[in-house]
Amino acid sequence: MRKSNYSDDNIVLDEHDTTSYSIEFSDNNHYPSKNSVKPLEVLFVSSGNLKNFDLAPFIKVQGESLTEENINVTYFTIKGKGIRGYLRNIKNLKKFLKEKQFDLIHAHFTLSGWVAALSFPKHTPLVLSLMGTDALGRVKKGSIWPASWNHLTFLTYIIQPFVDAIISKSPNIDQHVWMRKNSHIIPNGVDLEKFDGLRKNYRHELGLKENQKYILFLGNPSDTNKNFNFLKEAKGQLSKDGFEIVSPYPVSHDNIVKYLSSVDMVVMCSQQEGSPNVVKEALASNCKGVFTNVGDVEYVIGNTPGYAITDFTQQELVKKIHEVDLIASCHGRQRLIKLGLDTKNIALRIKDIYTSLLTNKTA
């Protein structure tokens, strides 16, 4: 387990500790001086179970964007799957909260929310971000419809009185929040400096041919919900038409930037989503795309040139790919900026929630 040495914010490894969590401090944390405003101290509680990342990139991006708003973010990541794996970390979090004080706790995913709630943080507001499957259920193999009620959705339903604010990524997730006074809809933002929209060519670096038309699929091909087989079944027709599908999963966030800058278009054909990051990152990159109408996708792309919605038929998917391919210009970045879906604006909206909760706490 990785523990923190609070005097100098270093992380050291305790070889004799068998607990399963890690603590990470933002590289951009602030240290108050006599004339500066004291930064807020916020603890992010989230899963650390991703195969290729210690911390989900979009959670790290959100945390780092908050540090630009005079908020110090510390990451408590849970190593342990399933309900038992999460609940075993209640005592770990409780111990950590005795050693270091925070103004507010922000949990990402319902099970992380339960770990935070059951640690009984005294007089510390708790914010819960719903991630999608915890509210909508999981898509099961062999069906395009998820179970409407399972242990995750049940836990999402009953945790709501025990948190002070609930952030949903999209309206379809927000429909599962019955504590309406605590409900907020805030999608994840996109780093517009990283996804710069300049369409730089990284094909040689990525091992892609210069004269080939590429369709990018960024999801996990083995994830039933991501529905890769739907695109794969069109491979024969698309190959005849001069397209090649590239699916680089798993891929680093830095390489996602390069792929979106280099390919001809991205296809997302998920059966269920909240506010899919790949769609917003494609817009920020001015990368054309074809998407299924899930979550907030239709709202996000609007009538923007370079993008299209497909249904779940092969004929329609291939048709939309051809239509988008023929569009000369792409104005995704302008649309994203107009909607205010960059990390700066999203950070300010989240900070407003934090400030409101802390103001009410002291009132």
In the predicted model, is pLDDT for residue 34 greater than 70? Answer: no
pLDDT digits (tens, 9 = 90+) for 219-248: 999 999 999 999 999 999 999 999 999 999
CA angle in degrees (0–180, nearest 5) for 75-78-82: 150
For 181, the token pair is 């006074």
pLDDT at 87: 86
**CATH 3.40.50.2000 domain locations along the chain:** 2-189+342-362, 203-339
Backbone Cα Rg of the chain:
21
- Mean pLDDT on 109-121: 95
What span, in angstroms and rounded, lies between the C-alpha atoms of 5 and 10?
5
Return the CATH class of domain 2-189+342-362.
alpha beta
Quickly state the pLDDT bin for 51 (edges 50, 70, 90). low
- Token pair for residue 112? 């992380």
> What's the whole-number mean pLDDT along residues 111-137?
93
Q: Taking the mean position of all CA atoms in its chain, how far away is CA 147? A: 22
Q: What is d(CA 120, CA 141) in angstroms, rounded to the nearest whole number? A: 37
pLDDT on residue 13: 27
Split at pLDDT 50, 70, 90, the class of 27 is confident
Give the residue carrying structure tokens 């792309």.
301
User: How many alpha carbons lie under 13 Å from residue 48 in its C-beta half-sphere?
Assistant: 18
The Cα 41–Cα 73 span in angstroms is 6
* Complete edge-to-edge strand list for the sheet that includes strand 40-47: 21-25, 71-78, 40-47, 104-108, 126-130, 165-168, 183-185
CA distance 168 to 88: 26
- Model pLDDT, residue 19: 47
What is the model's pLDDT at position 37? 84
Say if residues 65 and 343 touch (Cβ distance below 8 Å). Answer: yes
Q: Which of 159, 155, 197 lies closest to 331, judged by CA? A: 197
d(CA 252, CA 256): 6
User: Which class in CATH covers the domain with range 203-339?
Assistant: alpha beta
Among 82, 63, 69, which residue's Cα sits nearest to residue 24? 63
pLDDT at 14: 34
Q: Locate all alpha helices (DSSP H) within the chain, ordered by sequence.
A: 57-67, 82-87, 90-99, 110-118, 133-136, 151-159, 171-174, 203-206, 228-232, 235-240, 253-262, 277-284, 297-301, 314-326, 332-339, 343-362
Give me the chain's average pLDDT, please. 89
Average pLDDT over residues 68-84: 90
pTM, two decimals, is: 0.89
Lowest-pLDDT choice from 33-42, 250-259, 269-278: 33-42
CA 351 to chain centre: 17
- Contact in structure between 272 and 293 (CB atoms under 8 Å): no
Where does residue 217 fall: left (phi above 0), alpha (psi -120 to 50 degrees), or beta otherwise?
beta
What is the rounded distance in angstroms from the CA atom of residue 255 to the CA atom of residue 47? 23
Helix (H) or strand (E) holding 71: strand 71-78
Provide mean pLDDT across the span 49-67: 86
- Is the pLDDT at 3 greater than 90? The verdict is no
pLDDT of residue 75: 96
pLDDT bin (cut points 50, 70, 90) of residue 301 is: very high
The whole-number pLDDT of residue 39 equals 93
